[in-house]
Amino acid sequence: MKWWGWGVDGVAFNPDNKPKFPGFVQEKVGIDIYHTTSEPRFEDLDVPASQLPEDLRATLVAALSEEQVVTEDLERVVHAYGKGVRDLVRVRRGELGRVPDAILYPRDEDQVVAIVEAAVAADAVLIPFGGGSNIVGALEAEPGEQRTVLSIDMGLLNKVLEIDENSGLARIQAGALGPDLEEQLGRRGWTLGHFPDSFNHSTLGGWIATRSSGMQSDKYGDIADITRGLRMVTPAGEVVALRPLPATSSGPSVREMILGSEGRLGIITEATVAIHRVPEVREIQAYFFPSYAQGLACMQAIAFSDAAPSVARVSDHRETAFTLATSKESKGVSNLVTKALMTYLKQRRWDLSKLCLSFIGFEGSAQHVRYEKAQVNRIVSEHGGIGVGKGPGVLYDQKKFDTPYIRDFLLDRGAVADVSETATPWSSTQQVYDAVIAAAENAMAEQGVAGYIMAHLSHSYHSGACQYFTFAIADDSDEAIDKYDAVKRAVQQAFVDNNGTVSHHHGVGEEHSPWMEQDISPAGVGIQRSLFGAVDPGRNFNPGKIIHDGQPGISSNSKQPAATDEG
CB 318 within 8 A of CB 455: yes
Domain housing 145: 42-153
14-18, 365-369, 469-473: which range is least confident on average?
A: 14-18
| Summary mean pLDDT of the chain | 93
Render pLDDT for 511-554 as a digit per residue (tens, 0 to 9).
Answer: 999 999 999 999 999 999 999 999 999 999 999 999 975 444 43
In this prediction, residues 378-400 reach a mean pLDDT of 86
Would you say 218 is a known binding-site residue?
no
Would you say 211 is a known binding-site residue?
yes
Would you say 407 is a known binding-site residue?
yes
In this prediction, residues 283-308 reach a mean pLDDT of 96
The pLDDT of residue 337 is 62
Share of the chain above pLDDT 70, in %: 95
CB 359 within 8 A of CB 311: yes
Statement: residue 363 has pLDDT above 80: yes
Euclidean distance between CA atoms 544 and 550, whole angstroms = 10
Of the three residues 124, 153, 182, the one that is the final residue of a domain is 153
The pLDDT of residue 393 is 76
The pLDDT of residue 562 is 37
The pLDDT of residue 399 is 75
Task: Give the closest residue to 89 by CA, choosing from 484, 492, 488, 514.
Answer: 484
Euclidean distance between CA atoms 543 and 253, whole angstroms = 23
Task: Give the closest residue to 202 by CA, choosing from 171, 232, 227, 175.
Answer: 175
The pLDDT of residue 549 is 53
Euclidean distance between CA atoms 223 and 260, whole angstroms = 10
CB 468 within 8 A of CB 307: no
Render pLDDT for 33-60 as a digit per residue (tens, 0 to 9).
Answer: 988 877 889 999 999 999 999 999 999 9
Would you say 567 is a known binding-site residue?
no
Catalytic residue annotation? 468
In this prediction, residues 367-381 reach a mean pLDDT of 97
Identify the bridge partners of residue 464 per DSSP, sorted by sequence position.
Answer: 425
Sheet holding 149-153, edge to edge: 69-70, 102-104, 149-153, 125-129
CB 567 within 8 A of CB 547: no
Would you say 499 is a known binding-site residue?
no
Q: Are residues 141 and 166 in the same domain?
A: no
Would you say 550 is a known binding-site residue?
no
Q: Are residues 180 and 236 in the same domain?
A: yes
Pairing of strands 149-153, 125-129: parallel
Helix 429-447 vs helix 480-497: angle between axes, to the nearest 10 degrees? 150
Residue with the larger pLDDT of the pair 277 and 567:
277
Asked if residue 507 belongs to a domain, the reply is no
Helix 480-497 vs helix 85-93: angle between axes, to the nearest 10 degrees? 170
Statement: residue 556 has pLDDT above 50: no
The pLDDT of residue 339 is 78
In this prediction, residues 504-515 reach a mean pLDDT of 95
Q: Are residues 166 and 195 in the same domain?
A: yes
Of the three residues 400, 418, 443, the one that is the final residue of a domain is 400
Euclidean distance between CA atoms 222 and 211, whole angstroms = 7
Euclidean distance between CA atoms 129 and 206, whole angstroms = 8
Would you say 377 is a known binding-site residue?
no
Confidence of residue 255 (pLDDT cuts 50, 70, 90): very high
Asked if residue 25 belongs to a domain, the reply is no
- The amino acid at residue 517 is E
Identify the bridge partners of residue 69 per DSSP, sorted by sequence position.
Answer: 104
Residue with the larger pLDDT of the pair 328 and 143:
143
The pLDDT of residue 9 is 87
The pLDDT of residue 336 is 54
Would you say 265 is a known binding-site residue?
yes
Would you say 335 is a known binding-site residue?
no
CATH of the domain at 372: 3.30.70.3450
The pLDDT of residue 303 is 97
The pLDDT of residue 305 is 96
In this prediction, residues 215-219 reach a mean pLDDT of 94
Q: How far apart are the first and last CA of the chain?
A: 36
What percent helix, strand, coil does the chain show, rounded to 5? 40, 20, 40
Statement: residue 318 has pLDDT above 80: yes
CATH of the domain at 233: 3.30.465.10
Helix 54-63 vs helix 109-121: angle between axes, to the nearest 10 degrees? 160
Asked if residue 530 belongs to a domain, the reply is no
What pTM was computed for the model?
Answer: 0.94
Which string of DSSP letters, residue by residue, matches 278-295? PPSEEEEEEEEES-HHHH
What is the phi/psi pair of residue 176, to 5°? -70, 125
Euclidean distance between CA atoms 36 and 476, whole angstroms = 11
Identify the bridge partners of residue 286 per DSSP, sorted by sequence position.
Answer: 359, 389
Residue with the larger pLDDT of the pair 35 and 448:
448
Is 231 in a helix, a strand, or coil?
A: strand
Task: Give the closest residue to 500 by CA, choosing from 510, 512, 509, 486.
Answer: 512
- In terms of residues, how long is the chain? 567
Statement: residue 266 has pLDDT above 80: yes
**Angle at 309 (CA atoms; ends 181, 469), nearest 5 degrees:** 80
Confidence of residue 187 (pLDDT cuts 50, 70, 90): very high
Euclidean distance between CA atoms 149 and 130, whole angstroms = 16
Q: Are residues 265 and 306 in the same domain?
A: no
Q: Are residues 165 and 203 in the same domain?
A: yes
Identify the bridge partners of residue 270 per DSSP, sorted by sequence position.
Answer: 173, 231
The pLDDT of residue 338 is 74
Q: Are residues 226 and 118 in the same domain?
A: no
Euclidean distance between CA atoms 545 and 565, whole angstroms = 9
Of the three residues 361, 377, 400, the one that is the final residue of a domain is 400
CB 262 within 8 A of CB 508: yes
Q: Are residues 288 and 187 in the same domain?
A: no
Q: Are residues 268 and 306 in the same domain?
A: no
247-261, 363-377, 526-540, 546-560: which range is least confident on average?
A: 546-560
400-404, 496-500, 517-521, 538-542: which range is least confident on average?
A: 400-404
Q: How many domains does the chain have?
A: 3
Q: Are residues 270 and 286 in the same domain?
A: no
Give the single-character DSSP code of 351: -
Give the single-character DSSP code of 374: H
Would you say 127 is a known binding-site residue?
no
Q: Are residues 262 and 285 in the same domain?
A: no
9-18, 334-343, 434-443: which range is least confident on average?
A: 334-343
Would you say 456 is a known binding-site residue?
no
The pLDDT of residue 179 is 97
Which string of DSSP letters, residue by residue, matches 502-516? S-SSS--TTTSGGGH
Q: Are residues 299 and 352 in the same domain?
A: yes
State how far Cα 37 lies from the chain centre: 27
The pLDDT of residue 49 is 97
Would you say 429 is a known binding-site residue?
no
Statement: residue 123 has pLDDT above 60: yes
Statement: residue 375 has pLDDT above 60: yes
Euclidean distance between CA atoms 4 and 88, whole angstroms = 6
What is the phi/psi pair of residue 330, to 5°? -80, 140
Asked if residue 481 belongs to a domain, the reply is no
In this prediction, residues 83-106 reach a mean pLDDT of 96
Would you say 264 is a known binding-site residue?
yes
3-state secondary structure 138-169: CCCCCCCCCCCEEEEECCCCCCEEEEECCCCE
Q: Are residues 200 and 118 in the same domain?
A: no
Asked if residue 206 belongs to a domain, the reply is yes
Asked if residue 528 belongs to a domain, the reply is no
Asked if residue 65 belongs to a domain, the reply is yes
Would you say 263 is a known binding-site residue?
yes
The pLDDT of residue 332 is 53
Neighbours of 371 (CB within 10 A): 15
Would you say 268 is a known binding-site residue?
yes
CATH of the domain at 129: 3.30.43.10
The pLDDT of residue 396 is 76
Asked if residue 167 belongs to a domain, the reply is yes
